[in-house]
């Protein structure tokens, strides 16, 4: 897992208008305006984490550009 993959996903979501706020335990909270959309880790050791998060976002109708 490359950290740059998380950064790429984050940049795509920010470009689509989502806001990121660092939570108290080191996780990014993703907002669409005032509504919490999802929570993403700032770092991860799981190889499939980026794929799982991308799939979750697609299921919710959030497709990063």
Q: pLDDT at position 18, please?
A: 93
Q: pLDDT at position 64, please?
A: 67
Q: pLDDT at position 21, please?
A: 95
Domain range summary for the chain, segments of one domain joined by +: 3-59
Q: Do 18 and 61 meet the contact criterion of CB atoms below 8 Å apart?
A: no
Residues of the chain with pLDDT under 50: 1
Strand order, beta sheet including 27-32 = 19-22, 27-32, 35-41
Q: pLDDT at position 36, please?
A: 93
Q: What is the DSSP string of 13-62?
A: HHHTT-EEEE-TTSEEEEEETTEEEEEEESS---TTHHHHHHHHHHHTT-
Q: pLDDT at position 62, please?
A: 84
Spatial separation of the C-alpha atoms in residues 50 and 53, rounded to whole Å: 5
Q: pLDDT at position 30, please?
A: 94
């Amino acid at each position: 897992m490359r950290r740059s993959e998380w950064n790429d996903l984050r940049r795509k979501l920010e470009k689509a208008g989502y806001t990121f706020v660092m939570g108290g335990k080191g996780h990014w909270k993703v907002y669409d305006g005032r509504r919490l959309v999802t929570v993403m880790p700032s770092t991860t050791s799981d190889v499939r984490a980026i794929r799982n998060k991308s799939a979750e976002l697609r299921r919710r109708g959030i497709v990063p550009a």
